[in-house]
């Protein structure tokens, strides 16, 4: 299995950690389960980056995709440039749609 290189926007790493801590505080072990599912989604995207659908309403480059996360209301927002996958956000499905768009200017 070949996984392409990847990176995260710094704010995405903070989101990841905040979500894992929040779920862990709800029930012991739940944060670890979320981390496993988020990590699996990233690895899936690294192996098959075009398998996830293009993000709705966005037509310009870079092409943004969203890979859903099983069992949790999260999605990995990412794009591929120069064979590197960049995670823009670990976005909750029900909160602040498109808040991460301003991060694209940083990447």
User: How distant is the alpha carbon of residue 33 from its chain centre?
Assistant: 16
Q: CA-to-CA distance for 35 and 40, rounded, in angstroms?
A: 8
Q: Where are the domains of the chain?
A: 6-93
User: How distant is the alpha carbon of residue 70 from its chain centre?
Assistant: 12
pLDDT at position 2, please?
85
pLDDT at position 78, please?
97
pLDDT at position 56, please?
80
CATH topology of domain 6-93: YaeB-like fold (3.30.2310)
Three-class SS state of 28 = coil
Three-class SS state of 24 = helix
What does each of the 107 residues of the chain score in pLDDT, given as a tens digit?
A: 689 999 999 999 999 999 999 999 999 999 999 999 999 999 999 999 999 999 886 677 789 999 999 999 999 999 999 999 999 999 999 988 889 999 998 87
Write down the mean pLDDT value for the chain. Answer: 93
| Model confidence pLDDT, tens digit, residues 10-20 | 999 999 999 99
């Amino acid at each position: 299995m070949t996984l392409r290189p990847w990176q995260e926007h710094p704010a995405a790493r903070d989101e990841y950690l905040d979500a894992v801590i929040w779920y862990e505080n709800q029930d012991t072990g739940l944060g670890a389960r979320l981390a496993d599912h988020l990590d699996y989604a990233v690895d899936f995207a690294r192996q098959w980056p075009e398998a996830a659908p293009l993000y709705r309403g966005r037509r310009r480059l870079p092409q943004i995709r969203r890979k859903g996360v099983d069992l949790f209301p999260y999605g990995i927002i990412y794009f591929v440039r120069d064979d590197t996958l960049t995670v823009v956000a670990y976005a909750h499905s029900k909160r602040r749609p498109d808040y991460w768009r301003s991060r694209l200017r940083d990447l």
